[in-house]
């Protein structure tokens, strides 16, 4: 089961943090179709947030077709987001972890490494149709 980590100083709305963390778990195969999300009460107890915030996040996920509310039973994952399963991602995860360790050894902090990763990601995934989506390709 997923446990939500709410970063109060992030500038991202709490309900959106729940949505984004759920989507990340779906992409990584941590959550798969049929899995039950924690109840609003469970999230409130672990994250100390308003139950309406949890319900707002779950409604957004339902609107996107990712989860299904089953009255009296809970909220269940309807579909995943990842294009590959967790096992096939494992070698890439190992390589990325090694890269992050090298970045740290080179003096980059987490934000620096994220910025570099994002710049490289933009270069690799940029399309000819939408160069504005590519973002900056250099610092």
In degrees and rounded to multiples of 5, residue 67 shows phi and psi of -130, 165
Contact of 17 with 37, CB cutoff 8 Å? no
pTM of the model: 0.70
- Residue 114: per-residue pLDDT: 87
Residue ranges, comma separated, of all CATH 1.10.10.10 domains in the chain are: 14-77
CATH class of 14-77: mainly alpha
Query: What pLDDT, in 10s, does the model give residues 19-50?
Result: 999 999 999 888 999 999 999 999 999 999 99
Q: Consecutive sets of 10 residues in the chain, 139 residues long: mean pLDDT of each?
A: 92 96 92 95 94 96 96 94 73 89 94 88 72 44
């Amino acid at each position: 089961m997923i446990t939500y980590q709410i970063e109060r100083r992030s500038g991202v709305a709490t309900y959106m943090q729940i949505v984004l963390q759920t989507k990340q778990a779906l992409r990584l195969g941590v959550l798969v179709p049929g899995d039950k999300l924690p109840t609003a009460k469970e999230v409130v107890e672990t994250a100390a947030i308003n139950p309406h915030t949890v319900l707002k996040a779950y409604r957004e996920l339902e609107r996107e077709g990712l989860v299904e509310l089953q009255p009296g039973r809970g909220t269940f994952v309807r579909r995943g987001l990842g294009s590959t399963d967790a096992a096939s991602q494992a070698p890439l995860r190992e390589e990325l972890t090694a890269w992050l360790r090298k970045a740290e050894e080179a003096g980059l902090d987490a934000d620096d490494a994220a910025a570099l990763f994002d710049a490289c990601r933009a270069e690799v995934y940029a399309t000819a149709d939408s160069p504005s989506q590519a973002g900056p390709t250099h610092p």
